[in-house]
A and B are shown apart, each in its own frame.
Chain A
Amino acid sequence: MAKNKKKYKILAINPGSTSTKIAWFEDEEKVFEKTISHSARVLEKFKSIWDQYSFRKEEVVRTLEEAGFDLAELDAVVGRGGLIRPIPSGVYVVDEQMIQDARIGYQGPHASNLGCVIAYSIAWEHDIPAYIVDPPAVDDMEPLARISGQAKIPRTSLFHALNIFATARQFARDQNKKFEDLNLIVAHLGGGITVAALHGGRAINVNNGIEEGPFTPERSGSLPVLKIIDMAFSGKYTREQMRKMIVGKGGLVSYFGTNSALEVENMVKAGSERYRLVFEAMAYQVAEEIGARSTNLKGRVDGIIITGGLAHSEMFTGWIKERVEHIAPVYIYPGASEMEALAHGALRVLRGEEPAKRYGVHTPKVGIFYWDNIEAYVQAINYIEDYFRAKGYVFRKEDSNLELIYANCEGDDERGRRELERLIDRNVDLIIAIGSPASALAAQYLRGYDMPLIFTGLYSKEILAGVDWKNADNFYASLYGVPVEEQFENSMLRIQPDVRKLGVTYKIGELQSNIEHDRVREFCAKHNIECYSFDVQEHEDLEEAAKYFSDEKVQWVYLGSDSIIATATAKQLETITSKFPTQCALEDTVHHGGMIAYHISWKEVCEQSADFAVRLLNGIEIKTALVSPGKRYVTANHDTVDKHGLMDKVKQIKGVKLI
């Protein structure tokens, strides 16, 4: 005999302004439902909606106990989520962060803010989970939909998410289709009216139910803005009166003094032309909004669903239907099943059909943007990752609290731009650009974006020509370059103060290299040193450079920080390093056979960048956006020094590290 399957017992709580609805479910079956009314006199005693918590909770518990329910039998409690911070649709575990946001009324005070805390409280005391499902704060809107036309006023989403998603899911079940596979337009018609375009299970666009879209029984919807401004500044109305005119005393109330659509409909049926004009205009505007949503879905609409209390009116839905059925078939789902929507959401989680989302846990995303797979950049990524780990970040693991997204330009500008676009699409919180070429590209491409950019190992601030560092709120840089004069004075001139002929490689067309080259020439002019420059565009050019330097009988060669030297192998550099003592701009060049470098630690530079990132992610103030680690190091290659017979002199340099 088949074993009886356990039935999940779920308590759903839906606080409204003057009542608290509760329902007890055993799986999908609603075995008890009650609307607990709260008299205005009692509610007036509380200073704020939040203060009504104990009163409403006691009423809920008492009602259930009187009806003979044992709260200890519950598997979960689900509450109507409130005006918390904007979140994608879904079922959320109630957590401390959510409670904090509900307490302060993140998007405003509302009775539904009590839903999560009452659910949490009952769940806490019975050691079971508490959830919320699709709160009004659901915000899945696509980026295009957020642009209002005034940069200072982004569009925000506030709509009947619970009923809209629940009805859409019900429709999908009725059609035997997967909800996420459907393109739907769902219009919720109630005291407020919102019309959402659903694509891939998300509301990609929807009118803000408080201030946009069709007028409703008591809200004005979208209004001619300039006339509103004139009224607001006419001196005739207070701010509160103006608000009330839009929400509460707008819509049908403003025309007829009633918010009862049924009353208005009866007047229409009785033959009133005036009532008909306004009532039909409301349907006209709903149809208009549906039409707008169809464009959001590029006309590919599987169905138009009309739901909510007003959907009971055949007259009203008929007017809408005749104007929109050319777009897609219209389906009427009258009423709202919020209690079912709440319970079914919790049930999906309990059954393992859908994971519950974590509200308070935002996994930050950091983009790591680099020029190519060269050793120094790979090393930089390792240093940055190590720093994040040391600060408690976990990534590439199940319990990750940070997502690192890597973007490699592969040495190509065009590819780099595409990678930056990819990082923007992934909604990264910030981008760390590694090395000067990647930094320059990111600075150029992302100028104007609201995206923090951290430049790692920038040779100097001049690399980012045109960046006004005093006003660049979103740019941070860890500098790597040591002034050329300081390099020579602390290594080459210590070993051989009488150098008179210096060879220098550089790469024409690379800004960083050109700046560096100019400075080398300035240094030489100042110290009466003849300077012999050689442009290296490819690694093969190094051999020719060596020949040129030999012909000119240079005594030393400066190997700069251009991309040819930075990416050259020891073998490619050998043609120069074996013939001449070399002053290297990069520590890495010494590892590849260069003789000596006076430099900043690459590790410290990378850690400085990671530190900027950690501070930005945690909202910690950054006092200086341009930082160069102060400590200098002298690194010399033992074998190369030995080969040139300069060991005694090199060892006299204080703090020199021979590798």
Chain B
Amino acid sequence: MALDIFDLMRTTNNYELTFYEEPSVQLKSIIAINNTVLGPVLATTKIFDFGNVERAAQVALRMAYYNTYRAALLRRPFGGGSIVLCGDPKKVKNEFYLRALGIYINKFAGNLFIARSADLTDEDIKYILRETEFVVGGDDDFLMSGMPPAKATALGIINGIRAAIKFKFGRDEISGLTFVVQGIDGVGYYIVEHLLQAEDVQVVITDRVYDRIKAIQDRVPEVKVVRPGEIYKQACDVFISCTFDSSISEQEASQLQTKILTGSVNNVIYSEDVEKILIDRGILYVPGYVLNGGEIILFDNELSGLGPDVVENQLGDIYNITLDLLRQAREENKTVNEVAISAAVQYIENIAAIKKLR
């Protein structure tokens, strides 16, 4: 049965979905806008050959949905949206493709900003900047000071994970624990790098691309490496998925040998049934959108003109936000996802009410 796009828009609270094609540069984009109550849309970008447009639209809608909530949880003035570009980045991405995208972004007249993300390199951003000013993460002076967005996201996630460890094990230290990181490109790489700096921490990594594995292993030979198909069976304390949304189905959830599951992607589990399996197996699940907003903090500081030195401090907020949500979930006998969305929705409603008063 074909996917009902409108039905999916309703269930993900998205109100706008635009399809745009520029055949001369092979640009095929889908832009989802979920909510603009808090501010202009800060759209993250995904470039991938999804195979079919319905799947691409589905990804765009889910990304936009979670981007709204993660900004709200961090109380940052951004709406939720996403840009999905269909195609193999190695084949389609070039100067003119990216400049065409920049021209298209201008059509949203400042209501949508494209954010630097893992799928867009520094060079890509420079091409987009030639055509549009609505880019966040494009200020080289700001970013060159040592905090790439992926690193900010990774550090935020580490803070969130520390909160989960505090909640689950009652401890502040991560020494003596085993972490599995699935996917070590971009954010995953920085997470691994951070973990490997800690003493007495075992890190198990995997990635579909072997060169990424080798790059880490050449530097840190003691890191444990397993093939992608074996990763779910690895016994660990924290499993961090940095691959795709919805990649953990019932089968993977049954195999997991972890006590905490989280990730850099917004929501790594496929369905509520999967969450039930995790609960039954005593695995604490912390959805990625709760703790992956480090880049939003970075971008907000960039737009506000504050220095990057304050970013690291502000990333600490993610620890408190995550711990509060975990405790609230336990008190109310709800899932973290339920209390997180409820808190985010409440914040958006409050802002909307205030805006009406203006």
Contact = CB atoms under 8 A, between A and B. Distances in A.
A190 B213 CA distance: 37
Contact of A127 (B213, B217, B224, B227): B227
Given A96-B225, A120-B210, A121-B214, 13 more contacts: A50-B218, A53-B214, A54-B211, A57-B211, A96-B224, A99-B217, A100-B221, A103-B218, A124-B210, A124-B213, A124-B227, A125-B208, A127-B228
B229 interface: yes
A415 to B, nearest CB: 45
Contacts of B227: 124, 127
Nearest to A57: B211
22 contacts: A50-B218, A54-B211, A57-B211, A96-B224, A100-B221, A103-B217, A103-B218, A103-B221, A117-B214, A120-B210, A121-B210, A121-B211, A121-B214, A122-B210, A124-B210, A124-B213, A124-B227, A125-B208, A125-B210, A127-B227, A127-B228, A127-B229
Interface in B169-223: 208-211, 213-214, 217-218, 221
Contacts of A53: 214
Contacts of A125: 208-210
A377 B214 CA distance: 50
Max chain B Cβ within 10 angstroms of own Cβ: one of A117, A124, A125: A124
A368 B37 CA distance: 75
B88 to A, nearest CB: 14
A95 B218 CA distance: 15
Contacts, number: 26
A50 B209 CA distance: 18
Contacts of B218: 50, 103
Interface residues of A, number: 15
A54 B212 CA distance: 11
Nearest to A121: B210
Nearest to A100: B221
A385 to B, nearest CB: 24
A551 B211 CA distance: 88
B215 to A, nearest CB: 9
Interface in B223-243: 224-225, 227-229
Interface in B137-152: none
A631 B224 CA distance: 40
A288 B203 CA distance: 55
A219 to B, nearest CB: 32
Contacts of A122: 210
B89 to A, nearest CB: 17
Contacts of A127: 227-229
B51 to A, nearest CB: 15
Interface in A104-145: 117, 120-122, 124-125, 127
Interface string A366-401: 000000000000000000000000000000000000
Contacts of B217: 99, 103
Contacts of A99: 217
Contacts of A121: 210-211, 214
Contacts of A120: 210
Interface in A71-100: 96, 99-100
A100 B210 CA distance: 14
Contacts of B209: 125
Contacts of B208: 125
Contacts of B228: 127
Closest 7 CB pairs of A and B: A121-B210, A124-B210, A96-B225, A125-B210, A100-B221, A127-B229, A124-B227
A121 B212 CA distance: 10
Contacts of B221: 100, 103
A50 to B, nearest CB: 8
A120 B218 CA distance: 15
B234 to A, nearest CB: 14
Contacts of A103: 217-218, 221
Nearest to B215: A54
Nearest to B209: A125
A122 B210 CA distance: 8
A99 to B, nearest CB: 7
Contacts of B229: 127
A53 B217 CA distance: 13
B11 to A, nearest CB: 34
Contacts of A124: 210, 213, 227
B75 to A, nearest CB: 42
A121 B211 CA distance: 7
